Every structure is written in structure tokens, then in C-alpha cells.
A and B are shown apart, each in its own frame.
Chain A
Amino acid sequence: MSRKFFALWSLTLCAPGTALAHTSVEGIGSFYNGLLHPIVVPAHLLLLISVGLFLGQQGPRRVELALITYLVGTVIGLIAAWFSMGSGLEIFILSLSAILGLLVALSLKVLVPLCAVIALLAGFILGMDSPQEELMGSQKLVTLVGTGISIILLAIYPMALANAFNKKNWQTIGIRIVGSWIAACSFLVLALKIAGSN
């Protein structure tokens, strides 16, 4: 009997579930998990789309400085995330995406310095809210690098889209509708957060 028992036990050991305690999606590695992080966090995705559409609406010449500040803000935010300096930033993320969604819906052009400050703030807050507290050393670094690349790319794509879709009336209106949807979603969940904190 004990032989059969040990045979079964050995069989069980042959089929273990892969232990990947430090990744949110099993089997894809630290870098790809970092890359996916802004996509799987809905609040981040909303802010990324709204900041991208907002910058795209401003036109290429007005966002040159903003692109640099966005990059700088993201790097500073990720450094802050490395030291786990920020937590519970969702309320700020939602507030910013609600404001940006509204600006997109209204199709407002803002001053270049203000545009740069908004981009800096968005990059910083997104980076800072991506701490990988359960990771250590090189794994954490690789994950944060992945997150940084994702934060940049996921803002650039909607920016390019909004910039390209400004030729015809229906295109600009379509972008504004998406902005109003983002503002509506962010505003609603913001209200829920405020209601929960009271």
C-alpha cells in the first residue's frame, strides 16, 4: 500500500502549479507583467487615454514640451514607486482623468506651459501609482521599466489617433464623445470614492 501511496504522491509532485508569487499574470515574466500593469488597472487606462487624446487635440506644435515633461514625470514617478512612496492615488488619477476627459469633450486648447504641467502631473501620478511592493531587486526594476514603456506608449497611441482624427467634423466629434465618456466614468467613480470616505 505504501508503495502505491508514494507512487501517487510522486505523480502529484510531477504536476505542480508554477509558483509565480511575484507576478500578477502567471508565466509571462516580470517585464511583460510590468508592461501590462497600466492596461489591467482601469483607472490608469482611463487616464492614459484621456491624456493622450488631450495632447493629440492640442496639435503637434503645442505638445513638444508636454511630451518631454510627460517622460520626465513618468521617470520621476517610477523612481518614487521604486521607493514605494505613494499609495491610494486612485482618487487623484480619477480626478485628473475627469478633468482631462472634460477638456477633451469641450475640445479646449490650453496654454503650452499648462499643457506641459498637466502632462508632467499625469506621467508622475501614473508612475508613482505603479509600485511593485512584493518584488525585489532586478525583478522590480524590470517590471517598472516595462510599466514605464507602457505608460509612454499607451499615451502616444491615443495622442496620434486624436491628432490624425481632426480632419473631418465627425472625427473631432468622435474624439469629444470619447472624452465625455471618460469624464463621466471618472466622475462617477470619484463620487463613489468620496461617498465611501465619508
Chain B
Amino acid sequence: MDTRKYLSWVVAAVLMVFATSVSAHEGTGVAGGFVSGFLHPIFGWDHVVAMVAVGLWGAFLGNPAIWILPVVFPLVMAFGGALGVLGVPVPAVETGIAGSALVLGILVAVAARPPIWVAAVIVGAFAIFHGHAHGTELPHSANPLSYSVGFVLSTGLLHLFGIAFGLLVRWPAGKIAVQAGGGLIALAGIGFLTGIV
């Protein structure tokens, strides 16, 4: 009996030598940074609807706005993110993000077609709020660069989703569907602002 007990201790000791670190469900390093960055905009409904609204509005504005807005947005968002990283306070960030859903949703719902520079200024102003929110998370990520690649890519794909849906405006029924989508986004914006959603 003593021998078997001793043997089991030896086996346990040997198994402990081969033990590897447990990394269940928790991404680390480059991959972890990318995944958490990629999921950050997707897991925030306020980000999702605003990004989709940018794409939808771009579709209504037509060329070249449909493509210029997705180029402008990440650049201005990076500026907002840099402000967040550097600790420069931007007032009412969450209100700005919720407001972006409301304003952009209304602009899509009414099929507004302002000059391209006006559209770029509106979208750019909201991009600062979204960027600031992402930027404040950046220093805490596993790998800041892969985190930023993840969230920029994710944001771009949400724009693309909006653009793809927005292309339905070519058909009369599609135009109604896109405008209805804008209305829903505006309602969501009200929900975010009032705290209902």
C-alpha cells in the first residue's frame, strides 16, 4: 500500500512537470488584442448602429460620399482615439455617441443630401466621440496595435454593412427600407440618450 501511495505521488509530480498554462477563453498577446479590439465596436449597440448609419447615409449621398465617408471616418476616429489615449478630456462622450445614432438615423430617414463637406464635418465630429471611447480602452489591451487594427477593421466592416444595405436605394422599395432603417436607428438613438436601451 505504501508503495502504491508513493508511486501515485511520483506520477502526480511528473504530471505537474508537464503542466502548461491554462488560457481558457482569454485571448492574450497579438491575437487577444486583435479579438478584443474587433469585438469592442460590435458589442456596443450604440457603436454598431452609428457605424451602419454612416454607411446608409453614404449610400443616399451617392458618389463620391459613399466612399469618402469610410475613408474620413477612421482618420478622424484615430484623432479622437489619440485624445483618449493622451488623456485629453472630451465632454459628454457617451452622449455624443448616442447622439450620433439619433442624428445620423434622422439624416438617413429623411434622405438628407447636404454638400459633401457638410456630411464629412457631421460624420467627422461624431467620429471623435467614437474614437475617444475606443482610445480610452487602448492602454488596457493585451496588444495595443493589434487591438487598434481589430477595432478599425471592425468599424470599417460595419460601414461596409451599412453601404451594402444602403445600395438598396436604387429600387423604390429598397429606398423605403433604408429610410425605415434610418428611422429605427434614430429611435435606438433616443433609447440610448434616455437610457431605455
Contact yes or no, B17 A191, CB < 8 A? no
Per the CB 8 Å criterion, the residue count for chain A at the interface is: 31
Binary interface encoding of chain A residues 159-177 relative to chain B, with 1 for a CB under 8 A from any of its CBs, else 0: 0000000000110010011
Q: Does B161 make an interface contact (CB < 8 A)?
A: no
CA distance A147 to B50 in the complex (A): 42
Which of B91-99, B101-109, B138-146 binds A? B138-146
> In the complex, what residues of B have CB within 8 A of residue A181's CB?
74, 149, 152-153, 156
- The stretch of B38-46, B82-90, B174-182, B185-193 in contact with A is B82-90
Asked whether A143 is an interface residue with its Cβ less than 8 Å from the other chain, the reply is: no
Counting chain A CB atoms within 10 Å of each CB, the highest count among B14, B78, B81, B135 belongs to B78
**A50 and B82 alpha carbons, distance in the complex (Å):** 20
Contacts of A46 on B, CB cut-off 8 Å? 145, 149
**A residues 5-26 in Cβ contact with B at 8 Å:** 5, 8, 12
Q: Does A195 contact B (CB under 8 A)?
A: yes
Cα(A8)–Cα(B135), bound, Å: 54
Chain A, interface SS category = helix
Asked whether, in the complex, the Cβ of A176 is within 8 Å of the Cβ of B3, the reply is no
Instruction: Report the nearest B residue to A90, measured CB to CB.
Output: B145
Q: Are B148 and A188 in contact, with the CB atoms below 8 A?
A: yes
Chain B contacts for A105, CB-based, 8 A:
71, 75
Contact residues, A140-198 vs B (CB, 8 A): 169-170, 173, 176-177, 180-181, 183-185, 187-192, 194-196
Bound: A188/B76 CA distance, A: 11
In Å, the complex CA distance between A177 and B81 comes to 18
Instruction: Say if the beta carbon of A42 comes within 8 Å of chain B.
Output: yes
Interface residues of chain B, those whose CB is within 8 Å of chain A, are 3, 6-7, 10-11, 14, 17, 30, 63-64, 67, 70-72, 74-75, 77-79, 81-82, 85-87, 135, 138-139, 143-146, 148-149, 152-153, 156
Q: List 24 A-B contacts (CB under 8 A).
A: A4-B7, A42-B145, A42-B146, A42-B149, A46-B149, A173-B64, A173-B67, A176-B67, A180-B72, A180-B74, A180-B75, A181-B74, A181-B152, A181-B153, A184-B75, A184-B77, A184-B148, A185-B78, A188-B81, A191-B135, A192-B85, A192-B138, A195-B85, A196-B139
